């Protein structure tokens, strides 16, 4: 496995995109996926509106507690979106 050196995060419409290089853009290999999502929301000025946000890579939900140093190079293109369930308000 080749560890990631950069993470590309975007919203579902791909209009708000952030390419972050690890160790250079405020994220380190010790940060978690959840912290990277928070970093994305902050940098893109997106309000969380009390929702829990998560990242998906190649259609698979990423574990918010996984350190970025354990992310494979093949899992570096993320779609960030809020978790929504039917019937929730």
pTM confidence score: 0.86
Span 30-88, pLDDT tens digits: 999 999 999 999 999 988 888 899 999 998 999 999 999 898 888 999 999 998 766 65
Burial of 55 (0-12, 13-18, 19+ CB in 10 A): buried
Helices and strands (H and E) in the chain: how many: 1, 5
Classify residue 22: in a domain, yes or no: yes
Classify residue 13: in a domain, yes or no: yes
Classify residue 89: in a domain, yes or no: no
Please check whether residue 80 is in contact with residue 40, taking contact to mean a CB–CB distance below 8 angstroms: yes
Provide the 10 A C-beta neighbour count for residue 36. Answer: 26
Paired tokens of 43 = 């940098």
CATH code of the domain covering residue 18: 3.10.20.90
Classify residue 12: in a domain, yes or no: yes
Segments forming the whole domain that contains residue 10? 6-82
Classify residue 87: in a domain, yes or no: no
**Total domains present in the chain:** 1
In the chain, which residue ranges form alpha helices assigned H by DSSP? 33-43
Classify residue 10: in a domain, yes or no: yes
Classify residue 33: in a domain, yes or no: yes
Span 1-39, pLDDT tens digits: 556 788 999 998 888 999 988 888 788 999 999 999 999
Cα distance between residue 33 and residue 18, in whole Å = 14
Classify residue 1: in a domain, yes or no: no
């Amino acid at each position: 496995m080749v560890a990631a050196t950069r993470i590309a995060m975007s919203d579902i419409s791909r209009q708000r995109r952030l390419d972050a290089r690890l160790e250079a853009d405020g994220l380190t290999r010790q940060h978690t996926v959840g912290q990277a999502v928070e970093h994305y929301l902050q940098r893109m000025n997106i309000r969380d509106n009390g929702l829990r946000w998560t990242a998906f890579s190649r259609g698979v939900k990423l574990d918010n507690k996984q350190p970025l140093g354990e992310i494979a190079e093949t899992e570096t293109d993320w779609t960030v979106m809020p978790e929504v369930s039917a019937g929730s308000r």
